[in-house]
Chain A
């Protein structure tokens, strides 16, 4: 098992509040890691520390190491822009950028210097299809991405990350506020995508983790209580907190 990310003794602070406590985790490549846990347990913070989106939080401070393919991403000579191209992210409640659907998808590739019209169109179709959105928007690629419904925007954001052809995709509650049909579409997409990508999926919906994740980690109040193969976590968790959470006894 080769691991994509190795997280070692990670502590994370907002002001003086310790939001992540002593996290140690190996994230294997080409698998889906589900992260579950109650609200405020630090899932989003953890996810954002993997592509250094927390850098913009002036009050934040990080300790420990996060290795991507063996290299420490918080090392001062690590290229942050390259990191974000390699580790794509779909935010909780994602919104389209204020431009057309087409431009949303080619935003990342264009930053990479890809300008060839045919190549870009190809990428657009490929990414939108992979995000199960192509059929709904193929006739109106030039209209504003912001006109799409919430669920469509969520898939558009997935598509624009796919268009960058990253190594890792971080997904923060990609199905919150989606109907079961759209949710199923995204879950199908993820099952296909893990062949090529490493996926980390934060979800408030434990059933979703059970359905799509290969491995599942359970976060509680900034600590990672338990991590393991999804089936084992959901059938025979080692820790009582995990058991309580997945059986719905708290949180």
Chain B
């Protein structure tokens, strides 16, 4: 009984794959076609390096927001990367495998919590703690970094564990049999052998942190300025787009699209670095 021929199946699959890819391409094209003309008109230098963002006066400099995005991402890295990598090593080297196989999917589930929930916790719990103990408005660069740092943990932990488990058992046994402790084995052998995967996990986490919007809007405070301390309120590129798109028109609207172009380029660069790192790991295996 043959309902659809092999060729037919192939065609249908090709069509689906093609439509998925073309949807992506269309989105990219749309953002570029809306954003690029603005950049040319306004001038790339003024757009990127001026920090005056006053749409009603026709001033569209996103420098403060670029700086804020970079700081928030950097802060998230400081929080998330050491924690995530340490957690990955702990789970894959110190905890019995069967327990790890229970905990890992649980951690991956954290990635499924909507970001608005993370933001909510940030506003209700984290921001007051920061305000009461360190001063400032509470909604700040620091709270955004911590919340984002936690949000990228599942990405970092999960991909790091995969790359640590890909290290051949014979390396571990060889090292342990030479009288190394588990910790010495990690620092002298396992880290080196799983380095590219761990770096990839951090870069993917970084991409996630840069692109995150909802949670950041809720906890970062959103005032447009170059932060002088971690307790200052900041507005990121993503937050800027989300906050103003509902009422922006004309040049203002185009400027938001141009902001999107900047984000798009940054994330493409990060993802390609990550995929090169991951591919390198595959080849080595």
A residues near B (Cβ < 8 Å) are: 51, 53, 56, 58, 81-82, 84-85, 88-89, 91, 93-99, 107-108, 111-112, 157, 160-161, 164
- In the complex, which residues of chain A have a beta carbon less than 8 angstroms from the beta carbon of B171? 95, 97-98
- In the complex, which residues of chain B have a beta carbon less than 8 angstroms from the beta carbon of A96? 174
Given contacts A98-B193, A107-B188, contact A81 B179 (CB under 8 A): yes
Cβ B192 vs Cβ A111 within 8 A? no
Shortest CB–CB separation between residue B92 and chain A, in angstroms?
13
- In the complex, which residues of chain B have a beta carbon less than 8 angstroms from the beta carbon of A84? 176-179
Cβ B96 vs Cβ A58 within 8 A? yes
Q: Does B33 contact A (CB under 8 A)?
A: no
Which one, A58, A85, A93, A107, contacts B175 given CB within 8 A? A107
Cβ A88 vs Cβ B97 within 8 A? no
The B contact surface, by secondary structure, is helix
Cβ B178 vs Cβ A164 within 8 A? yes
- In the complex, which residues of chain B have a beta carbon less than 8 angstroms from the beta carbon of A95? 168, 170-171, 174
Q: B172's closest neighbor in chain A, by CB?
A: A56
Q: A160's closest neighbor in chain B, by CB?
A: B178
- In the complex, which residues of chain A have a beta carbon less than 8 angstroms from the beta carbon of B193? 98
- Give the size of the chain B interface in residues (CB under 8 angstroms): 20
Given contacts A95-B171, A98-B193, A164-B178, 5 further A-B contacts (CB under 8 A): A82-B179, A89-B177, A91-B174, A95-B174, A161-B177
- In the complex, which residues of chain A have a beta carbon less than 8 angstroms from the beta carbon of B189? 97-99
Interchain Cβ contacts within 8 Å, total number: 61
Cβ B177 vs Cβ A88 within 8 A? yes
A–B Cβ pairs within 8 angstroms, 25 of them: A51-B177, A53-B173, A56-B176, A81-B181, A84-B177, A84-B179, A85-B178, A91-B174, A94-B174, A95-B168, A95-B171, A96-B174, A97-B174, A98-B193, A99-B189, A99-B192, A107-B178, A108-B179, A111-B178, A111-B184, A112-B179, A157-B174, A161-B177, A164-B178, A164-B179
Q: Which among B96, B179, B189 has the highest number of chain A CB atoms within 10 Å?
A: B179
For the complex of A and B, list the 10 residue pairs with the smallest distance between their C-beta atoms, beginning with the closest.
A85-B179, A108-B178, A84-B179, A89-B177, A95-B170, A58-B96, A98-B193, A81-B179, A111-B180, A97-B174
Shortest CB–CB separation between residue B280 and chain A, in angstroms?
14
Shortest CB–CB separation between residue B191 and chain A, in angstroms?
11
Chain B residues 85 to 128 lying within 8 A of chain A, measured CB to CB, are 96-98
CA distance A192 to B114 in the complex (A): 67
Cβ B175 vs Cβ A97 within 8 A? yes
Cβ A53 vs Cβ B174 within 8 A? no
- In the complex, which residues of chain B have a beta carbon less than 8 angstroms from the beta carbon of A98? 171, 189, 192-193
